[in-house]
Amino acid sequence: MADRIGVIDYGGGNLQNVLNVLKFLGREGSLVSAPGDLDSVDRLLFPGVGSFGDCVEELDRKKLRDPILEWLGQDRPFFGICLGYQVLFESSVESPGLKGLGFFKGEVVKFSNDLGLKVPHMGWNEVLPKDRNFPLWKDTPDPLHLYFVHSFHPKPADESLINSTTVYGDPFASSVGQGNIFACQFHPERSQDAGLTLVRNFLEG
């Protein structure tokens, strides 16, 4: 029996895109909108667009904070995308005073205009995996280009978590990985074949 896939419903706008990718790969995703919904899934996707503050407030309103932290603490399969990556950290300069999930130590920071960068960072950019043997990178192109749309990015306190880097002005952590937990700043659902390969690897890993 195939693993059941849950997609966290935090009220954001790109949930359907992720559900469509799952369907394209021959899988059905179910929305996780309440704590009990986690009981019926085996793998968890947390896609995200929007603001850090709105997202964590919606998670708290739906009482999903503690169940998600429990899932992560049990090292169950998890794939966070964009905002679903950022909220794993303690805080964000985008939403002062609001607490992220805090599963990883570190802060979400904004790209500096001092470097003459266009913010948001938008479009295709190269992703540099630290360890090509990490399961999710299997069969992805080398060099690997994926699609980004963001003004903020996490700065992990523990650099050993960093799974890939991307250069935009300076290098930043474009993904982290720990056990069965993977989260990234790029959008695999917008990254054509390379992105589909990443999601497929997660579903089959």
Which of the following is catalytic: 121, 150, 153, 187?
187
153 is catalytic: no
CA distance readout (Å), 193 to 21, 69, 139, 186: 11, 31, 10, 14
- In sequence order, the β-bridge partners of residue 31 are 7
Which of the following is catalytic: 55, 82, 121, 184?
82
Q: What DSSP letter does each residue of the chain carry, written as one string?
A: -PPPEEEE-SS-S-HHHHHHHHHHTT--EEEE-SGGGGGG-SEEEE---S-HHHHHHHHHHTT-HHHHHHHHHTT--EEEETHHHHTTSSEETTSTT-----SS-EEEEEPPGGGT--SSEEEEEEEEES-TTSGGGTT--SSEEEEEEESEEEEESSGGGEEEEEEESEEEEEEEEETTEEEESS-GGGSHHHHHHHHHHHHH-
187 is catalytic: yes
Which of the following is catalytic: 150, 153, 184, 189?
189
Q: Which amino acid belongs to residue 21?
A: V
- The two counts, helices (H) then strands (E), for the chain are 5, 12
Active site residues: 82, 187, 189
